[in-house]
Amino acid sequence: MKIKENLTILWEYLKTVFSFDPESPLLFTQFQFWAFFAIVFAVFALFRNRRLLRNTYLFFISVLFYYKTSGLFFGLLLFVTLSDFLIAQLIYACRARWGKKLFLILSVTIDLSILCYFKYAYFFADLVNTLCGTSFQVTNILAESFNRAMGEPVFSIDRIILPVGISFYTFQIISYTADVYKGLIKPVRNFFDFGFYVTFFPQLVAGPIVKASDFIPQLYRKYCLSRLQFGMAVFWILNGLLKKIILSDYIAVNFIDRVFENPMLFSGFENLMALFAYSLQVYADFSGYTDIAIGLSLLMGFHLPRNFNSPYKAPNCSNFWKRWHISLSRWLQTYLYIPLGGNRNSTFGTYFWILTITLAALVLSGNPYIAVGVLLLAAAVVYTGLRYPDRRRKIWANLNSMITMLLGGLWHGASCNFMVWGGLNGVGMIVYKFWRDFRPFHQLLWALFFLALVWAFSVFIPAPVWNLFLVFMLFIAGSALIKFLYTASKARWRVGWIGHAWAVWVTFVFISFTRLFFRSGSNLDPAVANETAWRIASEMVNQIGSAWNANVGDIILAYDKVFGLFLLGMVIHWLPDNWKRRYRIWFARTPLPLMALLVVAAVFVLYQFVTAEMQPFIYFQF
């Protein structure tokens, strides 16, 4: 009888372990995940050098992890994995160029159709309703069909739920078939090897996006983990957890989320600090996930690419996007910007995307004047490029760059706030490219001219918006003045570091203000994102740009822990790279008993900051 009871208890426990709980998906910050990984790694160690068995085992473990994270959507992951595995074989076997291209189009069509269905159904419904005057409502057709096949309501058909990490693994699979088509790599012959590449659980749901040419050769190497690599793996895991739980979750729960939920209840200073703190939060959250993924992968003998390189050290917007989400930036450059023509010329894709973005502006804004303005601006740029051959390459490069940034914004979500966010980053990159070509004295003159222009038109601009414009133009004028002094000074070393630091600060401020549109609607239902996001953004601008009646000192004292952590996070972020390299290597070479004590101390500190509810990683929703 006692044996039967124990077996029943064990069975119920196993059901809990292997079932999906939508209220508690498996996260890196949960104790359950580390228990799961400990078991996975212990079994992995038994046959770590038996390549086929190792890869097959990790493939099934990765599918189980995704099931625990996203439920029955693991079937969708298996479908796209199988379809691209087979199509890549056909691409490689086909001798005719047109045949290879046909199979590539088939693969991309399948992948993007699934992505668009789950991510852009509301956008396409709005597009049809706007253009045709219809009133279609979005229904989850796939869920309805699945429920009919199962004979019971497994999925809700009222709304389309976005599978976790679908954008990341879709882009990763597309890069694989595209590289096979280009002849850069040969297709993987074993399905389990390929499935492991697609589903590798540390980076599956939030990247980094791993190129097949970088990762697939690692599938066939023998397992190797040196003492230094073990130390680095432990460092990256702890570093990621500290970022996520302390610098992201604690600051978000205790300050940022409250302000963004209702900006009008907080002062202008609190709104401004919430905006700056969100820049730290989203970096600590996303890079923290990447750090943990890199550490876990390293323990299993695999190397993932670096995805962040101290992005808030960037002195301009272009450099920022070479440091932030590096794998996505490179993907967009390789598979979108260059096929569009890059910095050489325009292609059919350039004009296609101009029209598509115009329609998107019409649908997302609901304002035909905005769509007409976008179209006229694009037409003027294209005409200038055709009319003046000497400026053509630069114009095409900037136009293709702007299209890439707008589509990068839409990749995050089909709502107007993401399009504005992508567009502002595109404008920042283009303005910098033109700005850097001016001589320092001319930069100063242009800055003063635009400052006077903003002042002259202040009567037509709402006071809060005008105040922000004025402050930012003062930043630009200050940058131009410092650069002018630098070129005119004989002791340049005294001014050069000031100019660089000022450029870094201006870039950080600009990037933070673009995040106003990113954060305002990033956690909203796509059906209501536009209206709510614009309301939140406008209220925050109104509060920040209006007179600050609250006592700043009292606010700092009230949120002393939050502001202290924000300051600490930014100081660590701005430390010189060689300092960071030194303390990473010092930790990795620490004797194991001391390393164990440091790990225990770090876990104790982390426990003090754990919030009541585990916060999912921000980029899970993309």
DSSP 409-468: HHHH-SSHHHHHHHHHHHHHHHHHHHHTTS-HHHHHHHHHHHHHHHHHTGGGS-HHHHHH
Residue 524 and residue 487 in contact, taking contact as beta carbons nearer than 8 Å: no
Whole-number pLDDT of residue 297? 92
Domain borders along the chain are 28-223, 225-309+552-622
Beta strands in 188-330 (DSSP E): none
The distance from CA 555 to its chain's CA centroid, rounded to whole angstroms, is 31
Return d(Cα 501, Cα 313) in angstroms, integer: 9
Q: Comparing C-alpha atoms, which of 25, 413, 13 is closest to residue 201?
A: 25
Return d(Cα 194, Cα 162) in angstroms, integer: 24
Whole-number pLDDT of residue 294? 93
Whole-number pLDDT of residue 184? 86
The distance from CA 495 to its chain's CA centroid, rounded to whole angstroms, is 35
Helix (H/G/I), strand (E/B), else coil: 617: coil
Q: Which residues contact residue 308 at a Cβ distance below 8 angstroms, ignoring those fewer than 6 apart?
A: 283, 286, 287, 290, 323, 324, 325, 326
Residue 343 and residue 397 in contact, taking contact as beta carbons nearer than 8 Å: yes
CB atoms within 10 A of CB 133: 7
Whole-number pLDDT of residue 518? 82
Residue 450 and residue 434 in contact, taking contact as beta carbons nearer than 8 Å: no
Whole-number pLDDT of residue 107? 92
What's 381's DSSP letter?
A: H
pTM of structure: 0.87
Helix (H/G/I), strand (E/B), else coil: 288: helix
Return d(Cα 313, Cα 298) in angstroms, integer: 27
Whole-number pLDDT of residue 2? 64
Tell me phi and psi for residue 301, to 5 degrees: 90, 15
Residue 70 and residue 165 in contact, taking contact as beta carbons nearer than 8 Å: yes
Q: Comparing C-alpha atoms, which of 165, 63, 208, 34 is closest to residue 616?
A: 165
Is residue 412 among the annotated active site residues?
yes
Residue 346 and residue 385 in contact, taking contact as beta carbons nearer than 8 Å: yes
Return d(Cα 436, Cα 483) in angstroms, integer: 11
- Successive 10-residue mean pLDDT values, the chain, 622 residues: 62 62 73 86 87 90 88 87 93 88 92 86 73 72 67 66 84 91 88 91 83 87 89 93 90 88 86 91 91 92 90 90 90 85 76 76 66 72 71 78 85 77 85 76 70 65 62 69 66 62 86 84 55 76 77 86 92 91 92 92 85 66 66
Residue 473 and residue 489 in contact, taking contact as beta carbons nearer than 8 Å: no
Whole-number pLDDT of residue 565? 92
Residue 537 and residue 520 in contact, taking contact as beta carbons nearer than 8 Å: yes
| Element (DSSP H or E) covering residue 581 | helix 577-588
> Catalytic: which of 303, 325, 412, 573?
412
